[in-house]
Structure 1
Amino acid sequence: MLAATQTTNTDRIQHASALNDAKNTEQAILAYQSVLNEPSTNDQVLREQKVALIHLVRSLIDMFNEIPDCLSLQIEVCKEHIDWANDDKRIFLKQSLETRWVALYLDNKMYHESLGLISQPLKELKRLDDKMVFGGSGPDISSNISQCDLLPPPLLQAALDMQSGILHSEEKDYKTAYSYFYEAFEGYSSQEDAKAVLALKYMLLCKIMLNLAEDVHSIINGKAALRYAGHDIEAMKAIATAHQNRNLQEFESALARYTQEFNNDPIIRTQLAALYDTLLEQNLVRIIEPFSRVEIAHIADMVKLPAPQVEQKLSQMILNKAFHGILDQGAGCLIIFDEPEEDKTYETAIDTLKQVDKVVSSLYQKARQVILDSGWI
């Protein structure tokens, strides 16, 4: 009975995969759902072979990833099977599905909901971890520690490397971030995972942020990256070329041409915003360098940006001491001053006072010792 059920499920899964490969997504979704909703899948097989069914349910939900534009359906299916696993007291399966559920909310950009959902699984897993460590004997604890030393699955390790790279890039440590993204790229690539393209994009981004735009072309033309050629990689190549040329218009053109590739990724969007700001500052400094007085309208015309935006940026640069100058808003001009010579009078005076303090303190100690030795006190 069990073998027949498993064979039937296998055939139906293969049929659903064939429908998906044939781009018949609606029929594929219905086929996957029919297997998940089959009573024998949820009840009989679970009683007779729990591990096989847990793997089956997780595999079926994973297969939804291959079907485009069905995130909402994945969330719904995941919720249904969390309820079923909870009713049937399948704790491990429930926790696994809850983790997947949170990830789906995150992919759907429902950040507040995902934060709310993750709190309960975190408490349960922390409680389980404490129970395993503190409730065991010495050998048990050693065994648990040894288990922690085991390498995680390749995809999990790649995901951890990816997250580490993202955190380091947010801290502007792009060199370390590149190393993590490279490890993530190799991990995803070895498993034929689609996220390898994302890791490659982040690698290229780090090179651009490190002012090593010339390395981008060598990475793209490398053997490992050639298989992932496409719009995403072309978008990063365009940004690298614009940054290498220090050309603001070229940079804006690349952003406009590859809007979907950049705007859909908050990591890249944030870093490119900072890069654009830096590139704008470099262009403004280069333009105003020959002048002691220049019209803001002329600067705006040179960088092809609205005058109010340029004025605001120049004001910010003055406050940040990127250069010395003032804005004459009445005349609509920027007045640039020469770099002031550093006056070291105050530093010298402070240093002199410190030395005098040391001399006075030393004389006081010597005088005090003389008085004590003479017995006057």
Structure 2
Amino acid sequence: MTDGDQMDTEPIEAVAASSAPLEDEEEDCSDLATLLDSCDDLASASDKIPVLESILNEPANRYGPKASAIKERAVYAVARAYCEDNRFDDVVTLLTGTTCAAFFANITKAKTAKVVRAVLDAVCALAPDQLDMQAQICRNIISWCQTEKRSFLRQRVESKLASVLFQQDKYGESVAMVDGLLVELKKLDDKQLLVEVHLVESKVHHGLRGMAKAKAALTASRTSANAIYVAPALQSQIDLQSGVLHCEEGDYDTAHSYFLEAFEQLDQLDDREKAVPCLKYMMLCKILDGLSKALGISATGAAGIRSDRNEADISGMISGKRGVKYAGKDVDAMSAIASAASKRSLKEYEAVLSKYPHELQDDLLIKHHLGTLQEQLLESNLIRIIEPYSCVEIDHVATLIEMPLAVVEKKLSQMILDGKFNGILDQGKGQLIVYEDSETDKAMENGLKVIDNIDKVVSSLFDRSQALRSMMV
């Protein structure tokens, strides 16, 4: 069921009666069409805005089929013009202010919902970085919907607001909005919107590092999606979120397959903006998978980092048409990370992070895994350096690894506490003393198990004796 079908529609008889007089007489809207076409010849957005506003507020108050179609196009055009002219305050009040008030009052509620949603989507696409403006325009529309008692449109906009709040890292507000919205939607059984809201819920819980809740929300989204037709754009987002959660669990092969599904769908839709992150995630999975085999690292921590293998299989991540079509700084950044990780060069790795801060640090998934990878590479290199020694100066270790002394000293103490190797730091002499790994004493372990078992037998016999005494008394 579409939003238009659900909308608080007016009775068919009333709509037909209101539009009958306009259909009987020929409606002349040539002047409005001429004004709208003239905007194409104007170079600046500031020149277009007065013309477009005059169409919406024309004195004749024509709202027949032809005039309404022209004014609908004018609403979209004025929203684009406001964004191009950086008049974001006017964008916020566009739909709920006086500019579109007369137009919305003279068209059906279903048509109003369509226009409002189309304008909101267009504004978010034209000004993706203006999250405060997007949140404010959503709140204005929600207040207007509550006043006009347009529940279905309000729910759609609340879903969009929850997504915007997530992008602003306001996870608490986003979760509260999603929880309230889900209660309403489950009563109405609006599966299309349930798919979208559960998907937002999964993203928010992932941002909060609540993987169990994120997986549960994604499962609920998939369950609702199985009952309806899901557009390729939305299906790609579901596959993308599935890949993200599998990547967090360290299942890089499965994550790569989900990212590939999402990438191919977005590539067919020619949505470069959303396809590039999928390609970056695919490259990230290849890097992590290759290094997990070479170093034994995992999503939960370093293990087996004394591997003798020197190369990680991270070749063939981009090639052919894909590499040409999506070439740019994002792909270059991931390729540079792959090169540095393959060489195990921390200095080159940190240089890449400094060179591409926007491409590597703005994304939550990439930032988290690259940070973990950096720590694990540092541990791997430190163990490789100190392995031949029983006693080594910390300053010498810092010189070999080309990192500040304080950072190396802190990391070594952390590794000792985590049991990555046996040793102590002699800070007075500035030395690291490494102990040989001693084999565990099996006789001691077996002796402790025997004592534990004897303790259980004696305790059982004592309990039985107590029971016999109580029976005799």
Shorter chain as normaliser: what TM range? 0.7 to 0.9
Shift of 1:19: 5.0
Contact 1:246 1:279 in 2 (8 A): yes
From 230, 234, 240, the counterpart of 1:152: 230
**Structure 1 unmatched runs, 5+:** 131-144, 361-377
Structure 2 match to 1:176: 254
Q: Does 1:296 align with 2:394?
A: yes
CA distance in 1, matches of 2:361, 2:444: 51
Closer, same or farther in 2 for the Cα pair 1:220/1:32, shift >3 Å?
farther
Structure 2 match to 1:98: 158
From 271, 274, 277, the counterpart of 1:195: 274
From 226, 229, 245, the counterpart of 1:167: 245
CA distance in 2, matches of 1:318, 1:329: 14
Shift of 1:329: 1.8
The percentage of counterpart residues that share the same residue type is: 38
CA distance in 2, matches of 1:94, 1:351: 65
CA distance in 1, matches of 2:385, 2:277: 36
1:105 partner amino acid: L
Structure 2 match to 1:67: 126
Shift of 1:206: 1.5
Contact 2:80 2:123 in 1 (8 A): no
From 39, 44, 56, the counterpart of 2:115: 56
Superposed, 1:1-377 pairs within 5 Å as 1-12=63-74, 15-16=77-78, 19=81, 24-26=84-86, 34=94, 37-46=99-108, 50-68=109-127, 69-129=129-189, 148-193=226-271, 194-211=273-290, 217-346=315-444
Contact 1:16 1:29 in 2 (8 A): no
1:202 partner amino acid: Y
CA distance in 1, matches of 2:452, 2:162: 61
CA displacement, residues 1-31 of structure 1 (integer Å, 9 cap, x when unaligned): 44123321344256458758xx934379958
For normalisation by structure 2, the TM-score amounts to: 0.64
Contact 1:75 1:101 in 2 (8 A): yes
- Give the structure with the higher percent helix: 1
CA displacement, residues 226-279 of structure 1 (integer Å, 9 cap, x when unaligned): 322211111111111100000000000001101122222222111111000000
For normalisation by structure 1, the TM-score amounts to: 0.79
Shift of 1:55: 1.9
Shift of 1:320: 2.4
Structure 1 match to 2:10: none
2:119 partner amino acid: L
CA displacement, residues 141-168 of structure 1 (integer Å, 9 cap, x when unaligned): xxxx998433422122111122222222
Structure 1 match to 2:56: none
User: Which structure carries more relative contact order (alpha carbon 8 Å, separation 6+)?
Assistant: 2
CA distance in 1, matches of 2:375, 2:114: 49
**Structure 2 unmatched runs, 5+:** 1-62, 191-222, 292-310, 458-473
Closer, same or farther in 2 for the Cα pair 1:330/1:32, shift >3 Å?
closer
Closer, same or farther in 2 for the Cα pair 1:76/1:41, shift >3 Å?
farther
2:350 partner amino acid: E
Query: 3-state DSSP class of the match of 2:240?
Result: helix
CA displacement, residues 183-223 of structure 1 (integer Å, 9 cap, x when unaligned): 22222222233211111111111211112696655222242
Contact 1:238 1:254 in 2 (8 A): yes
Closer, same or farther in 2 for the Cα pair 1:187/1:7, shift >3 Å?
same
Shift of 1:350: 7.1
Contact 1:17 1:28 in 2 (8 A): no
Shift of 1:298: 0.8
Shift of 1:79: 1.7
Contact 1:317 1:323 in 2 (8 A): yes
CA distance in 2, matches of 1:336, 1:353: 33
Contact 2:95 2:141 in 1 (8 A): no
Contact 2:79 2:123 in 1 (8 A): no
